[in-house]
């Protein structure tokens, strides 16, 4: 058996796990590992400019591929800089392996230079974590880390490695395990057949059904089964913010997004439904609105890989614990075999009702003198044929992107839903572009968010990552401002972005192309030009109406159907 | 309602802090917590008593089950079970209080395990309610120190919690 040092084992194990890129930043505790990286060329290291960006790049790779991304950060400040990225992945159940350097094992606990208790700091935001105590455990720990991160309900795993575990002088036989056995961890591989049967009976008997799906369908690779089931039955589908793209957004049966900024028709349909099939969604507060008023006439079947997500906030009638793909497959078979068929008459009048709701609002917004952010997203959708990877930051622009970019494929909409991390967008776009060099990759952002990781423009230059930055510049922290307009009589406390940089010059100084767009008439030409520049990063600084609000917006603690439709009109 | 939750846990560094952290992170309450290795040194047995409605307790057991180090979880309060807690209580014991304390301890089947001219230390084993009752029964005796182990529990009958 080959003898390797701990540092070499780290790199070799990543290679054997099929990892092509790792995203990271070196430091004292990782010097042995970085030396091992230097001496091989199978695993490529991408040097970011801030560790947060490394985690978001790894995270976005995972969101686009459903495979764990890998970040490598040093002890102390390197590790703490990664914390926001780990929490971002955790909240959205994204598989990720974060390797953190640690001080020498014999110094732990002594407040050594650049020591932080990373296992302690990250404990509430990881699926699991490991501390390497013996170098020879490195291969099996890394194997377990990937296994845990990618199976069951996915999530980030931290592997903390004290520097002495990677010493180049000590060598150990290297053997990468083929599989993992853990008596305390065994994710479920299929749902309970009796429960699935019950859900199918209810599904077929429903008169006003809605299929409500979340990120679990995307991470669970169940989009195909979802589409088949919905189309077989001719039932409406609504996706959460995390679930967009699982069902084609341009299809007639798609109601778009539901929840706080969901479509009028999606929220109305949910409220009036008599049966909800929830798949890989977690009934979170941004979806349900007031839980006591949630969908009063609906019975609910809920498929989720995580039993703790079921009946956590909303009690359901038929819980089904299992992977979305396997359960939906079984449902499809049962539907095909079933003697009972959906009540065609009831379903057609349900569609009639839904179409009326669509007519009533259907994503309309008012045009004005100034360019509207919605217009920009619609243009982005047009210019990229609805086929780009759209990586978003957090704020109004994120909601507009979710509402107006029609995603027809899963894994194309990459955003921080659960944590709502400003600064996510650019590194996410970089992580996707690196792995999908031929694809159009847009970063939809705002002048607030982009400045939270703007330093990564430098990384983009170094590694040739020609993403297109669509900066919806409203000169304000728009989402904060909107809440201040609605709840604080427009007292705009600290939500105005003063002293903005000249983004064009800024982009140019990093070696990229900048474009300023102030009039809607210029938008299409500029955007086409930007996307035509296949090998250049283009920063499009697009000035949009600062007064615009995101609508619909649910009335706090109301029912699903209680919404503001514009500044003056309420349901 | 009060629940006694028993957990079989990998005896690994950090495992206990994950369990305790879960309770604070998710805002669950811990009344008492005991933990020690089992006959198999790779496994620890942990008992938590907590107060919560059914929904909260269901979440607690589900969330505990999700922890990678947790091998098994059972809510003992769902079935017949036995709970025990050990208490050591140091009391001022002068004059006629010495006899009084001895009598009360006998009634509760406690043992005096340490004696000085001015103090008694009583050991008592039972469920938590019995220990509470003993403290109440001491009346005017002056308590110097109370140490309670927290609750340990086990199911009645042939049911066992093992891997
Ligand atoms: C790191 C971080 N800090 C603060 C917030 C709170 N927050 C949510 S949206 C928002 C404003 C975002 O401004 P901008 O990026 O310009 O987007 P806009 O809403 O204007 O489109 C803020 C401050 C957050 N989500 N993340
Ligand atoms: Mg803004």
Q: Does A306 touch chain B (CB under 8 A)?
A: yes
Residue A475 has pLDDT above 90, yes or no: yes
* A208: nearest Cα among A246, A237, A235: A235
Domains and CATH numbers, chain B: 2-79 (3.30.70.260), 82-152 (3.30.70.1150)
Query: Is residue A163 annotated as part of the catalytic site, yes or no?
Result: yes
C-alpha B100: how far from its chain's center? 27
* A307: nearest Cα among B148, B124, B66: B66
Q: Do domains A3-173 and A193-360 have the same CATH topology?
A: yes
CATH 3.20.20.150 fits A373-550, yes or no: no
For A530-566, b where at least 16 C-beta lie within 10 A, e where not — what string? bbeeeeebbbbbbbbbeebbbbbbbbeeebbbbbbee
Tell me the mean pLDDT in the region A533-540: 98
**Cα distance between residue A71 and residue A51, in whole Å:** 8
Task: Give the pLDDT confidence of A212-266 residue by residue, as tens digits.
Answer: 999 999 999 999 999 999 999 999 999 999 999 999 999 999 999 999 999 999 9
Cis status of the peptide bond prior to A516, with omega within 30 of 0? no
For residue B99, CA distances in Å to A34, A222, B91, B112, B121 come to 74, 75, 12, 12, 13
Residues of chain B with pLDDT under 70: none
Do the Cβ atoms of B112 and B120 come closer than 8 Å?
A: yes
* A391: nearest Cα among A60, A59, A162: A60
Ligand index nearest the alpha carbon of residue A394: 1
Task: Give the pLDDT confidence of A95-106 residue by residue, as tens digits.
Answer: 999 999 999 999
**Cα distance between residue A441 and residue A430, in whole Å:** 8
Residue A21, pLDDT score: 98
Q: Which atom of ligand 1 is nearest to the CA of A445?
A: 15
> Percentage of chain A with pLDDT > 70?
100
For A357-380, b where at least 16 C-beta lie within 10 A, e where not — what string? bbeebeeebeeeebbbbbbbbbbb
Interface of B with A (CB under 8 A): 10, 13-14, 17-18, 21, 25, 55, 58-59, 62-63, 65-66, 68-71, 163
Query: Is residue A547 annotated as part of the catalytic site, yes or no?
Result: no
* A273: nearest Cα among A360, A350, A367, A338: A350
Burial-class residue A325 by CB neighbours within 10 Å (0-12, 13-18, 19+): buried
**Cα distance between residue B46 and residue A109, in whole Å:** 26
Residue A114 has pLDDT above 90, yes or no: yes
The shortest CB-CB distance from B63 to any of A129, A148, A308 is to A308
pLDDT grade, residue A497 (50/70/90)? confident
Residue A361, pLDDT score: 84
Averaged pLDDT score across all residues of chain A: 97
**Cα distance between residue B45 and residue B36, in whole Å:** 6
Tell me the mean pLDDT in the region A396-407: 97
CA distance A309 to chain B (A): 9
CA of A423 to the centre of ligand 1 (A): 9
Tell me the mean pLDDT in the region A561-571: 94
In A80-165, beta strands by DSSP E: 96-102, 128-131, 156-162
Which CATH superfamily groups domain A193-360? Answer: TPP-binding domain (3.40.50.1220)
Apex B15 CA angle, B10 and B16, nearest 5: 115
Question: Where are chain A's structural domains?
Answer: 3-173, 193-360, 373-550
Do the Cβ atoms of A287 and A240 come closer than 8 Å?
A: yes
User: Is B14 close to A131, i.e. CB distance below 8 A?
Assistant: yes
Q: Which residues of chain B does A124 touch, with a Cβ-Cβ cutoff of 8 Å?
A: 21, 25
Task: Give the pLDDT confidence of A63-85 residue by residue, as tens digits.
Answer: 999 999 999 999 999 999 999 99
CA of A214 to the centre of ligand 2 (A): 27
Residue A113 has pLDDT above 90, yes or no: yes
Task: Give the pLDDT confidence of A295-332 residue by residue, as tens digits.
Answer: 999 999 999 999 999 999 999 999 999 999 999 999 99
Q: Which atom of ligand 1 is nearest to the CA of A447?
A: 16
Residue A364 has pLDDT above 90, yes or no: no
As residues whose CB is below 5 A from the ion ligand 2, the structure lists A 446-448, 474, 478
Ligand index nearest the alpha carbon of residue A396: 1
Residue A342 has pLDDT above 90, yes or no: yes
> Number of Cβ pairs closer than 8 Å across A and B?
36
Fold that domain A3-173 belongs to in CATH:
Rossmann fold (3.40.50)
Complex ipTM: 0.93
User: Is A184 close to B68, i.e. CB distance below 8 A?
Assistant: yes
Which residue in this structure is represented by tokens 């990877």?
A389
Residue B17, pLDDT score: 96
For residue A225, CA distances in Å to A62, A230, A233, A259, B145 come to 21, 9, 12, 24, 65
Residue A157, pLDDT score: 98
pLDDT grade, residue A1 (50/70/90)? confident
Q: Which residues have C-beta atoms less than 6 Å from ligand 1?
A: A 393-397, 420-423, 446-449, 472, 474, 476-480
């Amino acid at each position: 058996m080959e003898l390797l040092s701990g540092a070499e084992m780290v790199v070799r194990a990543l290679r054997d796990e099929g990892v092509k890129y790792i995203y990271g930043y070196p430091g004292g505790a990782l010097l042995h590992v970085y030396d091992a990286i230097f001496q091989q060329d199978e695993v490529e290291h991408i040097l970011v400019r801030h560790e947060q960006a490394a985690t978001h790049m790894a995270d976005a790779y995972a969101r686009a591929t459903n495979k764990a991304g890998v970040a490598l950060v040093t002890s102390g400040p390197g590790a703490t800089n990664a914390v926001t990225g780990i929490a971002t992945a955790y909240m959205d159940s994204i598989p990720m392996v974060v390797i953190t350097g640690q001080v020498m094992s014999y110094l732990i606990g002594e407040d050594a230079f650049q020591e932080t208790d990373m296992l302690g700091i990250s404990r509430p935001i990881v699926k699991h974590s490991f501390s390497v105590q013996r170098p020879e455990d490195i291969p099996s720990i890394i194997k377990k880390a990937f296994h845990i991160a990618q199976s069951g309900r996915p999530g980030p795993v931290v592997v903390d490695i004290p520097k002495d575990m990677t010493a180049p002088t000590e060598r150990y036989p290297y053997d990468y395990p083929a599989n993992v056995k853990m008596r305390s961890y065994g994710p479920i591989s299929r749902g309970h057949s009796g429960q699935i049967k019950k859900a199918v009976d209810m599904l077929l008997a429903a008169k006003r059904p809605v299929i409500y799906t979340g990120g679990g369908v995307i991470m669970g690779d169940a989009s195909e089964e979802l589409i088949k089931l919905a189309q077989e039955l001719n039932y409406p589908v609504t996706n959460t913010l995390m679930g967009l793209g699982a069902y084609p957004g341009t299809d007639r049966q798609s109601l778009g997004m539901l929840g706080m900024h969901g479509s009028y028709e999606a929220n109305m349909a949910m409220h009036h439904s008599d049966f909800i099939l929830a798949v890989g969604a977690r009934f979170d507060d941004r979806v349900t609105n007031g839980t006591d008023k949630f969908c009063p006439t609906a019975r609910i079947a809920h498929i989720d890989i995580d039993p703790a997500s079921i009946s956590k906030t909303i009690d359901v009638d038929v819980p089904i614990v299992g992977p979305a793909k396997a359960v939906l497959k079984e449902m499809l078979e049962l539907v095909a075999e079933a003697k009972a068929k959906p009540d065609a008459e009831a379903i057609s009048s349900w569609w009639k009702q839904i179409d009326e709701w669509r007519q009533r609002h259907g994503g309309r917004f008012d045009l004005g003198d100034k360019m509207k952010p919605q217009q920009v997203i619609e243009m982005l959708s047009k210019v990229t044929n609805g086929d780009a990877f759209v990586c978003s930051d957090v704020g109004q622009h994120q909601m507009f992107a979710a509402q107006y970019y029609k995603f027809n494929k899963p894994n194309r909409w990459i955003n921080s839903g659960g944590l709502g991390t400003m600064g996510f967008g650019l590194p996410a776009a970089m992580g996707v572009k690196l792995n999908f060099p031929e694809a159009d990759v847009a970063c939809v952002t705002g002048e607030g968010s982009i400045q939270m990781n703007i330093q990564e423009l430098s990384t983009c230059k170094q590694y040739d990552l020609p993403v297109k930055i669509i900066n919806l510049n409203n000169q304000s922290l728009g989402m904060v401002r909107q809440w201040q307009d609605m709840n604080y009589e427009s007292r705009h406390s600290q939500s105005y972005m003063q002293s903005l940089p000249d983004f064009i010059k800024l982009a140019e100084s990093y070696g990229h192309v900048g474009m300023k767009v102030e009039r809607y008439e210029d938008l299409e030409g500029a955007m086409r030009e930007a996307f035509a520049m296949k090998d250049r990063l283009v920063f499009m600084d697009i000035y949009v109406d600062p007064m615009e609000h995101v609508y619909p917006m649910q009335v706090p603690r109301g029912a699903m159907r209680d919404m503001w439709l514009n500044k003056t009109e309420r349901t | 309602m009060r629940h006694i939750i028993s957990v079989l846990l990998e005896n690994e560094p950090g495992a206990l802090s994950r369990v305790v952290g879960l309770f604070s992170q998710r805002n669950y309450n811990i009344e008492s917590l005991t933990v020690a290795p089992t006959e198999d040194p790779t496994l620890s047995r942990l008992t938590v008593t907590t107060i919560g409605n059914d929904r909260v307790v269901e979440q607690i057991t589900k969330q505990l089950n999700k922890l990678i180090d947790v091998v098994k979880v059972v809510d003992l309060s769902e079935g017949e079970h036995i709970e025990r807690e050990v208490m050591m209580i140091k009391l001022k014991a002068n004059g006629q209080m010495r006899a009084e304390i001895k009598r009360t301890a006998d009634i509760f089947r406690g043992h005096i395990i340490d004696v000085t001219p001015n103090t008694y230390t009583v050991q008592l084993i039972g469920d938590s309610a019995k220990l509470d009752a003993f403290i109440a029964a001491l009346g005017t005796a002056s308590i110097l120190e109370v140490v309670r182990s927290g609750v340990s529990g086990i199911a009645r009958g042939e049911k066992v919690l093992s891997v």
